[in-house]
């Protein structure tokens, strides 16, 4: 049996494993994946957690605005406004007007 791994790291196309003795091994991902393992055309609608997360962010933003913690400008120099945030949320399947955390399709 090999030595237990102490650390994992990655770089594009590879996984590096360092054991407790300091030995570093490099493994190519190409040999571990098949084309059938890589989804094509994956969208937010196939991952309900992304939509729920987007809607959770909506609830947080709306609550903080309602409590006067935030206004409708974001970043240090007001580089992003609420409309930009709403558009990003909707691109992830969220709904700023009616956030739903159930994960069900609407």
Q: What is the pLDDT of residues 53-68, one digit of tens each?
A: 899 999 999 998 889 8
Strands (E), the chain: 5-11, 14-19, 24-28, 73-74, 80-81
Return the SS3 of 79. Answer: coil
My answer on whether 16 and 54 are in the same domain is: no
CB 68 within 8 A of CB 62: no
14 and 52, same domain (yes or no): no
Do 21 and 52 fall into the same domain?
no
More confident residue, 34 or 93: 93
Nearest to 54 by CA among 22, 21, 85, 17: 85
Q: What is the pLDDT of residue 2?
A: 59
Residue 100 lies in a domain: no
Q: Which domain holds residue 82?
A: 44-91
Within a domain: residue 103? no
pLDDT of residue 56: 92
- Residues 39/27, Cβ–Cβ less than 8 Å: no
User: Is 49 domain-assigned?
Assistant: yes
Domain presence at residue 106 = no
Confirm whether 80 is domain-assigned: yes
When divided into structural domains, the chain yields a total of 2
Closest CA to 28 of 39, 17, 40: 17
- pLDDT for position 106: 46
Answer yes or no: do 56 and 26 share one domain. Answer: no
Per DSSP, the three-state class of 68 is coil
* 51 and 33 share one domain: no
Residue 87 and residue 48 in one domain: yes
**Confidence check: pLDDT of 105 > 80:** no
pTM: 0.54
């Amino acid at each position: 049996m090999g030595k237990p791994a102490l650390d994992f790291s990655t770089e594009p196309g590879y996984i590096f494993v360092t054991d407790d003795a300091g030995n570093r091994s490099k493994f190519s991902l190409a040999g571990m994946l098949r084309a059938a393992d890589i989804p094509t055309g994956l969208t937010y609608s196939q991952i309900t957690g992304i939509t729920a997360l987007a809607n959770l962010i909506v609830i947080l933003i709306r609550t903080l605005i309602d409590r006067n913690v935030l206004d409708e400008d974001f970043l240090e120099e007001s580089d992003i406004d609420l409309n930009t945030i709403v558009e990003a949320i909707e691109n992830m399947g969220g709904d700023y007007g009616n956030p739903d955390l159930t994960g069900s399709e609407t």
